[in-house]
Amino acid sequence: MKKSALKIGTRGSDLALWQARWVESEIRRMSPGCDLTLEVIRTKGDRILDSPLSTMGDRGLFTREIEEALLDGRIDCAVHSLKDLPTELPPGLTLGATCRREEVRDVFIPHPVNPVRTLLAQRQGAIIATGSLRRRSQILAKRPDIRIVDIRGNLNTRMQKLRDSQWAGMILACAGVTRLGWEASIGEMIPVDVMLPAAGQGAIGVEIRAGDAGAASVLESLNDRATACAVEAERALLRTLEGGCQVPIGAYARIDETGDLLLLDAMVASLDGGKVVRGRTHGPPSGAGEIGRALAETLLAGGAEGILREIRSGGPLP
């Protein structure tokens, strides 16, 4: 029997609210008898905006308080950007749905007066803003002359910081930019051979209590098989590498046009971009988790283990 009421937990940023309202509208469309409400919950990542993500610890930075509300029964499901959701969920919680993925790539947003629209064509010594070590390392691997500055805040805040700066531009996830209607600011959709995305990027995950059959029934129609398989492979790779916001790891999985083959690309890089270990594999979508774990082991054996050990030793950013 379908649950008649569902309280949806979400962060309060414009993007988080867009995602939660999208999930709410999809549930209303598919389960019109369900009574839905939104509950906004502030997380540690929302409260502390003056520190780089790489210095704050990353397990549950944008999810822990929401998951506590879910476990306490204050909410019935939680809407997350899947790239923010730790690969190990707390006991008693599970993913109720992995929604259809939007564009997975990162984008370059040039300064409004910068006529150079693409990332790698920027002038010598150009300043690029990003809050991601993954993006930082991949930029420096291609252009070690570029200067990287850290940026935090919601999309409106970042856009204003860019306008007020002398930066050449900044890097953001395409999905967030387009969901909030900022497509006109995009200079370039960065190719994945230049910059692999974060695991889960572009996908929305809905977390529920394990064993909550009512919530699971309501959310079942939101689950997208192709996205779920791809994200499972990416998150299995990330889990095996024990990576997160403090580690430059990129992963991109997708199912080919036949529907019978899952392709996975991944990379691990040093903080200065001087060392990059990259790999590719494939296999049946039913083996998504094992595909991710196997590629992680290949990367570790190919040099990623040394890179990760060096990063975790706590050396400063270059």
Spatial contact of 9 and 69, defined as CB atoms under 8 Å apart: yes
Judged on CB neighbours under 10 Å (0-12, 13-18, 19+), 165 is middle
Spatial contact of 143 and 122, defined as CB atoms under 8 Å apart: yes
CA pair distance 182, 38, nearest whole angstrom: 25
H helices present in the chain, as ranges? 14-30, 44-47, 64-72, 133-142, 155-163, 174-179, 213-219, 225-241, 288-299, 305-312
- SS3 at position 295: helix
What sign for the dihedral angle of Cα 215, 219, 221, 226? negative
Question: Which of 14, 58, 84, 260 is flagged as catalytic?
Answer: 84
Q: How distant is the alpha carbon of residue 105 from its chain centre? A: 10
> In the structure encoding, which two tokens stand for residue 308, read together?
């990760």
DSSP per-residue codes, 172-236: EEHHHHHHTT-GGG--EE--TTT----TTTT-EEEEEETT-HHHHHHHGGG--HHHHHHHHHHHH
Residue of 190, 186, 206, 207 whose CA lies nearest to 198:
190
CA pair distance 204, 234, nearest whole angstrom: 14
CA pair distance 132, 195, nearest whole angstrom: 12
Q: Is 145 a catalytic residue?
A: no
Annotated catalytic sites, by residue? 84
